A and B are shown apart, each in its own frame.
Chain A
Amino acid sequence: MKANKLGFGATIVACTLIAGCGTDPQEFTPWVLEELAPAQGFSLRVPEFEVPPGRESQNCYFVHVPDLAGGEDLWIDRVVSAINPGSHHMNVFRVKTISGLDPAAGEPIKLGAYDATVLYGSDEYATHPCWDSANWADWPLIANSQNSAVGEPITDWQLPETAAIRLTPGELLMVQTHYVNSTEQPTTFGARVGINFHRFARAGAPVEMGSLFATQQNIRICASTPNVRYSGTCRFPNAVTITAANGHFHSRGRRFAMYSWEGTSATHPDDASMFYESTSWDHPEMATDLGLQAAQGTGMWWDCEYGWTPPTVITCDEVNAKDPLQENDCCYTFGGNTDVGEHCNVFLYYYPKADTDVFCL
């Protein structure tokens, strides 16, 4: 085990006037993650890049799962991510159907020691395939982090009991980074991401973890109806233990909540059923170690509450141009760019995984 040498030695002090975005001067100590030896797992490192003020960046990196166990599957029970401030999300997917987002079309790059390719979505949110979520509609999530706080850029997720993520050597993964450099979410210290996947080393046989991804694809947060709530449900195919969850929306998001749902009632679950709540859009906490039992046939109910505010970087004209219904009401609709579109996404992890992960699109 050795420390990652990163070229940043000292605490960085950034100034609003210099960076162009951000609020008060803040201190940031560059993160350091250990480099994992093959017996421990594998380490991915996204090379540092800059995001100009007022811009967003979404990049899609493709890398194969290394063969660390003589061709046997890898079981991962701890994921440690380190993310420089300004990140909106970092998601790791298993690549399934390839349609508009082709790993072979990417530029070669190294993610640490591993050969990879990358497609730089930059802020071409309307046209670039790395922004078009239909391109990864059936790609299950295996890990994610939305935490890039200045004082806490590292997320250390230890899976409970014998739960573990099963990866197959040669399997293709996509690491997607989304950085924002606005006054609301400044990228003052450069964009930089590291992930360590630790191999399962506990006693007993691992139990495969699955993920649930649910989203509200038809949402409208409009100037004339500024306060709205969208809700949905999603069921599990088998009895599971929910171990971790986090919600995802953009800057008009005010409250994200998830509830246990018994699967037959159309009545909103009561507060006692709530197992996740976040009022932070830029650094929503990931709830871990939930240990919540969900019987077969039951599921999860989620709410996304929004409060309309004007765009901060672009104009309502651009928001209106994106509105598929062209209602000219500055309506934020489903989309990845945080100043133009909104999301209402659930990332949830459970075990045991049955035949498949769960998608509620």
Chain B
Amino acid sequence: MSVRTAAALALVLVTGCSDGGGGDAPVDALVRCPLGDPAAAPEMEIVHLDADLTVVETMPDAEVPLIVPPQGGWILMLGVRATNIDGCQLNLTTSFRDVDDPAIIKLDQRPAKLEPTSDGWGISTPSTVGNLPICPQVTALRDLYDQPYVVTVAIEDIDGKRASRDLTIIPTCPAGDPRCTCECDRDYVLGGPCPPAAR
């Protein structure tokens, strides 16, 4: 067992597990990673994983690639670039909904940590972005690709400081992947015939 592993095991034993309450995520020993001015209001931008799994800033109406996870389906991987917040032990919530409809189609919540950059900001890494399952989607009212949808990305740090942003994006299938357009079609029925994925 490495020193790092042994230290982490000791940390488990010290911190124990969750108390089982519904709203409070388990918390490890306090490690601070202040970004920017702790007295200022948090600022943030949405980022996403591109098709080659690099983190890029998400612009309004951006085409955001649908990515294949290990057990099938198609997901969006969204994160955050932020400052004036503690970059360790963040809670990251990403969600996906139709334009002009408050119903959330999918939501993902997970722990996150931002990698500091030289400008006082921090940014999600591929290991801490959110995983939003998009297709197949039995409640879809229209196609889930090449159409505008709204994503919301929210963060909350260990001190309860929060920031949130909405953005309209366009989920996009990999070029020439008929399985993606099939499974992300509004009328797709689970288990229905689709061509093989170009994976």
Contacts and interface: CB of A to CB of B under 8 A. Distances in A.
Interface of A: 94, 96-97, 99, 133-134, 137-140, 215-218, 220, 222-237, 254-255, 257, 259, 263-266, 268-271, 273-274, 277, 279, 297, 301, 303, 305, 307-310, 316, 325, 327, 329-331, 334-335, 355-361
A238 to B, nearest CB: 9
Contact of A231 (B17, B102, B110): B110
Given A237-B138, A259-B22, 19 more contacts: A96-B191, A138-B190, A220-B127, A222-B8, A226-B28, A229-B26, A232-B108, A232-B133, A235-B105, A263-B104, A266-B95, A266-B104, A270-B23, A273-B22, A277-B20, A301-B107, A305-B18, A309-B9, A325-B127
B1 interface: yes
B20 A279 contact: yes
B176 interface: no
Given A134-B71, A218-B69, A361-B133, A271 B12 contact: no
A314 to B, nearest CB: 13
B73 to A, nearest CB: 3
B17 A227 contact: yes
Most B CB contacts (10 A, CB to CB) among A257, A263, A329 go to A263
A264 B103 contact: yes
B152 A266 contact: yes
Contacts of B26: 227-229, 254, 305, 307
Contact of A217 (B71, B111, B190, B191): B71
A231 B71 contact: no
A232 B107 contact: yes
A329 B125 CA distance: 15
Contacts of A139: 191
* A137, A274, A301, A308: most-surrounded residue (chain B CB, <10 A): A137
B8 A217 contact: no
Contact of B70 (A133, A138, A233, A301): A133
Nearest to A279: B20
A218 to B, nearest CB: 4
Nearest to A277: B20
5 nearest A-B pairs in the assembled complex, by CB-CB distance: A137-B72, A361-B73, A96-B191, A223-B8, A227-B26
Contact of B1 (A97, A277, A310, A355): A310
A50 to B, nearest CB: 29
A138 B72 contact: yes
Interface string B11-26: 1100111101111011
B190 A140 contact: yes
B194 interface: yes
A359 B28 contact: no
B69 A232 contact: no
Given A97-B191, A97-B194, A307-B17, A231 B108 contact: yes
B139 interface: yes
Interface string B72-85: 11010100000000
B171 interface: no
7 contacts: A217-B69, A227-B28, A228-B26, A231-B110, A255-B20, A266-B93, A325-B127
Interface residues of B, number: 55
A137 B73 contact: yes
Contacts of B189: 355-356
Nearest to A252: B12
Interface in B1-49: 1-2, 4-5, 8-9, 11-12, 15-18, 20-23, 25-28
Contacts of A255: 17-18, 20
Contacts of B193: 97
A40 B111 CA distance: 50
B12 A307 contact: yes
Contacts of A355: 189
A235 B15 contact: no
Contact of A361 (B28, B69, B109): B69
Given A134-B71, A217-B75, A359-B136, A268 B23 contact: yes
Given A134-B72, A237-B138, A228 B191 contact: no
B11 A226 contact: yes
Contact of B72 (A232, A301, A327, A361): A361
Contacts of A223: 4-5, 8-9
A308 B69 contact: no
A334 B109 contact: no
Nearest to A228: B111
B1 to A, nearest CB: 6
A217 B70 contact: yes
Nearest to B126: A325
Nearest to A341: B70
